[in-house]
Structure 1
Amino acid sequence: MRAFWAALPTEGRWLLSTVAIQTLGRGLTLPFTVIYLHEVRGFDLGLSGTLMSLIAVAGLIVTGPGGSLTDRLGARVILLAGCVTAFAGNALLAFAETPAAAAVGLILIGINFGVSWPAFNALIAAVVEGDIRQQYFGVNFALVNVGIGVGGVVGGLYVDVSDAGTFTTIFLVDALTALIPAALLLGPLRHVHGRAEAPVDADLASEASYRAILRQPAVLWLTGLTFVAVFVGYGQFEAGLPGYGRQVAELSTQIIGISFAVNTVWIVLMQFTVLTRLTGRRRTRAIMVMAGVWVLAWLALGGAGLVPGSAIAAAGMLTFMAVFAFGETLMQPTIPAIANDLASDHIRGRYNALSSAAFQGGAILGPVVAGFLLEHDLGATYVAVMVAGCVAVGLMAVALERRISPAANGVSPEPSPIPGP
């Protein structure tokens, strides 16, 4: 870690220095938004799941324009706009008493996610280069989880479904922490625009369109893999997992909050070790391992549903989060690194927008499927669908490996032998 920090440019250090604080507010609300909508505001579970999907729907709609604008205007401008929408969305959601008001707040939050992801990844890639870029994505992910995990614990101990004011407070805190990146971008990072000029001989009409980028087999497989991985992973974090925990496993909000903390602790403990193991190895192989690990995690959660309300059910939820965390430490350094190593500097925003769109697509489908299956008491089917998705991710990683260059896959090419005299 000391060597990594020393190798970072000043701008990279600034970006990392406040990550945990920025995401603390997100951790306060992440595990409890669907509980807030369902148990505090009184919306039925199916409607709550659909409302949660609006975050990803809005994000998906704006991701394409956000990637193009990132390339044209620079990442800094787009990130500032995202901060404003995140603040407004969380502030509105804090007082939303009707589905319409909640929908507007969630859409604003989704707009922030849709434009900020490609912009933030493009900004990182503009600041950090070479092998350290993969390490940066991994360290950033660990710090994100520190903030989310601490927030999850605090939120689980603080919120009370019988007191709507406790939920109002956590959403307002989330709104305020969304302004921290704006302070950095207007202060010490005001000179970092995150924009690269196109080469003189570049044919933007033929290479910069999303259709042209997706015609590349490696990009197409990576996009599909990301979509399915998010559907069975992060697409379940805000609706499926809390919903399954409450409705099927019959766990308390405190246990659910602690489970998110367990997830964070394991990520922080393992991420740096995993990063050292990943260096110089094929990223696609790490994704295959991730898929297998996630199968085990979902089977553990399925076991929790067989003994609802028991200590075994609580252990199943905690086991799921710990095992799932290991898979996350393999996913987060690899997929963004592959996407950015495939991209040219002047169209990096578009490549990251495609990754973001795949993420949002999986996050759209995740809550909808989870809400439908859980509302119809199909907990076992829910777990089976997730397991099948994990298997599909592993098979797609095999296909991606056949279509990606060794350099983009994290492996330096073998040096050519020096001919003899």
Structure 2
Amino acid sequence: MCNVGGVGQNAGVIGIGSFWGALPTEGRWLLSTVAIQTLGRGLTLPFTIIYLYEVRGFDLGLSGALMSLIAVTGLIVTGPGGTLIDKYGARTVLLAGLTAMIAGCTLLAFATHPAVAAVALVLIGVNFGVSWPGFNALIASVVHGDLRQQYFGVNFALVNLGIGIGGILGGFYVDVDSPETFTAIFLVDAATSLIPMALLLGPLRHVRTQAGPSDDAPSTAGYREILRQPAVLWLTLLTFLAMFIGYGQMEAGFPAYARQVAEVSTRVIGLSFAVNTAVIVLLQFLVLKRITGRRRTRVMVVMALVWALSWMILGAAGLLPDSLAAAIGVLSFMGVFAFGETLLQPTVPAVYNDLASDHNRGRYNAINAAAFQGGAITGPIAAGLLLDVGLGAWYIAIMVVGCLGIGALALILERRIPATANGVPEPVDAGQAPPPS
């Protein structure tokens, strides 16, 4: 493994200048290109279903089914992808995934038949399935200590910045009456995938994520054995619930409630996503300063309470439909929810990678990705079932209770992970299980 994290990556690194100065060269390469890489995804993400339905003329039900292929394929591929990362390294697997992404976006740009679109979206899903565990394993091999948590947080802010800018640019550029505008944004999405590919073939070509043949204590543990560890099991349940309550509602439950119950305009809903991006970009580094050196499980508890507050604000907006107060409530919901995201995103990936070793880092990150994708797939289903029969109040109540459940899981997790994995430099108690190897 290329141990470039080095000494000095500690809790004292909290300023922007000191953070950047503490990063190894490989970490700087990765971070400096994140926003550009994700700009292409932002160009296409909000408009893919519009492209399939309004430009290519596929019926709405078929278009929705085609869109689901990305998440379903990603979930299927994540497990094998994690194993391949541990065996062959993240670099090799990521290059394969990026190749699939480039091919998928290019094919989708010219897809005039549902079968062609299906193949394209499956290829995109393959990349989604391996990119999360692959890039997280790559980051963890380059950045160590408390700097790793800060890195995950800054990376999350830059991802949102790239996607947000891409979405704004795409909204001004695409025109359903001009199919070539959609062809252009998918080709740009394909082109932006060449950036991480160039990094992996150039400056990052020597970074290893897999354990070398001479490393001690090789691990053959599979997913079942990893998930039998209480810390991993509780963390995975927490991740799934957080995704079910959080991101699983962003593309379905939240917009549906805002339209059907709060009765706000589509313009307000679109503006709310801009508020989300702005809050994340503006607050993420300030939040990192406050949470560095604190127990990550306690940060998760605060996040759960913040999210519970956000859902109550949205519920209040539903009590005053088609009003200025409802619009303010919807916008406030997204702002408060985004604050919770800045607490969640630096902590959960850091815990997974601090529990993992070089022998199984790919599988740990694949479990994280699978829990995320599982919540993102099942969340919209539950929201649709509740809101379709007019149970808006029950929907909000379930979201709030789910948030409290996240907090409870975080407190259970706190008793089952080593202090170092929880973000505090305390020695492991004699009776506490050591971190898995």
Of 366, 378, 381 in structure 2, the residue corresponding to residue 368 of structure 1 is 381
Unaligned runs of 5+ in 2: 1-15, 430-437
1:235-285: CA deviations, max 9, x gaps? Answer: 233343444445555555544333222111111211111111111111011
- Measured after TM superposition, the shift of residue 42 of structure 1 is 6.4
**Separation in structure 2 between the aligned mates of residue 209 and residue 412 of structure 1, nearest angstrom:** 29
Which residue in the other structure is 1:256 paired with? 269
Identity %: 70
Q: Which amino acid in 2 is paired with 1:22?
A: Q
Query: In 2 relative to 1, CA 276–197 (structure 1 residues): closer, same or farther, beyond 3 Å?
Result: same
Which residue in the other structure is 1:225 paired with? 238
**Separation in structure 1 between the aligned mates of residue 413 and residue 70 of structure 2, nearest angstrom:** 29
Of 404, 411, 426 in structure 2, the residue corresponding to residue 413 of structure 1 is 426
**Separation in structure 2 between the aligned mates of residue 34 and residue 309 of structure 1, nearest angstrom:** 27
**Separation in structure 2 between the aligned mates of residue 189 and residue 235 of structure 1, nearest angstrom:** 33
Query: In 2 relative to 1, CA 148–160 (structure 1 residues): closer, same or farther, beyond 3 Å?
Result: same
CA contact (8 A) 1:149 1:261 kept: yes
CA contact (8 A) 2:41 2:163 kept: yes
Query: In 2 relative to 1, CA 310–170 (structure 1 residues): closer, same or farther, beyond 3 Å?
Result: farther
Query: In 2 relative to 1, CA 259–159 (structure 1 residues): closer, same or farther, beyond 3 Å?
Result: farther
- Measured after TM superposition, the shift of residue 212 of structure 1 is 1.0
- Measured after TM superposition, the shift of residue 221 of structure 1 is 0.5
Unaligned runs of 5+ in 1: 417-421
Compare 147-156 and 99-108 and name the one that shifted more: 99-108
Compare 87-96 and 53-62 and name the one that shifted more: 87-96
- Measured after TM superposition, the shift of residue 100 of structure 1 is 4.4
Q: Which amino acid in 1 is paired with 2:249?
A: Q
- Measured after TM superposition, the shift of residue 12 of structure 1 is 0.4
CA contact (8 A) 1:123 1:194 kept: yes
1:111-122 pair list within 5 angstroms = 111-122=126-137
Which residue in the other structure is 2:21 paired with? 6
CA contact (8 A) 1:133 1:337 kept: yes
**Separation in structure 2 between the aligned mates of residue 179 and residue 80 of structure 1, nearest angstrom:** 10
- Measured after TM superposition, the shift of residue 64 of structure 1 is 1.2
Of 142, 145, 150 in structure 2, the residue corresponding to residue 127 of structure 1 is 142
Moved over 6 A (4+): 42-46
Of 68, 79, 85 in structure 2, the residue corresponding to residue 70 of structure 1 is 85
Compare 194-203 and 54-63 and name the one that shifted more: 194-203
**Separation in structure 2 between the aligned mates of residue 21 and residue 292 of structure 1, nearest angstrom:** 33
CA contact (8 A) 1:68 1:349 kept: yes
Secondary structure at 2:421 match in 1 = coil
Q: With the length of structure 2 as denominator, give the TM-score of the two structures.
A: 0.85
Which residue in the other structure is 1:419 paired with? none
Q: Which amino acid in 2 is paired with 1:210?
A: Y
- Measured after TM superposition, the shift of residue 216 of structure 1 is 0.6
Q: How many residues in Structure 1 have an aligned counterpart in Structure 2?
A: 414
Query: In 2 relative to 1, CA 318–35 (structure 1 residues): closer, same or farther, beyond 3 Å?
Result: farther
Question: Bigger relative contact order, structure 1 or 2, given CA contacts below 8 A and separation 6+?
Answer: 1
1:2-401 pair list within 5 angstroms = 2-37=17-52, 49-96=64-111, 100-160=115-175, 165-197=180-212, 201-202=216-217, 204-205=219-220, 208-246=221-259, 249=262, 251=264, 253-307=266-320, 310-401=323-414
Secondary structure at 1:393 match in 2 = helix
**Separation in structure 2 between the aligned mates of residue 410 and residue 374 of structure 1, nearest angstrom:** 39
**Separation in structure 1 between the aligned mates of residue 246 and residue 146 of structure 2, nearest angstrom:** 27
CA contact (8 A) 2:311 2:399 kept: yes
**Separation in structure 2 between the aligned mates of residue 393 and residue 382 of structure 1, nearest angstrom:** 17
